Amino acid sequence: MITLAAFSPWRAEAQMASLSGLVSDPSGAAVAGADVTVRDINTGTARMSVTDGRGWYQVLALPVGNYEVMVRKSGFTEALRRGISLAVDQQATANIALQVGSVRQQVTV
């Protein structure tokens, strides 16, 4: 019985976190349709999202760990935010401001 409890789905779920945020342009306006990639820097595993009409993205059920967020949208430079640490049951926020420019340029936040 103790062995079964150690592998219960509830226990595995408790080790998760979520990450969400707003993607905006230099004026502060929401950027809809931006591609957001959330990558676990320890495992390389990536999850993707797309911002909604309000510029909002959300990635649920992320294992705890260290992450970076890459945001891409045509007409803007890529934005990379590093150093995001997620803890158990944390609902973290990582807002990203994009700069106008070529897609080939990258801005690290």
What is the 3-class SS of the chain, one letter each residue? CHHHHHCCHHHHHCCEEEEEEEEECCCCCECCCCEEEEEECCCCCEEEEECCCCCEEEEEEEECEEEEEEEECCCECEEEEEEEEECCCCEEECCEECCECCCCCEEEC
- Tell me the pTM: 0.81
pLDDT tens digit at each of 109 positions of the chain:
444 444 445 444 459 999 999 999 999 999 999 999 999 999 999 999 999 999 999 999 999 999 999 999 999 999 999 999 999 999 999 999 999 996 555 556 5
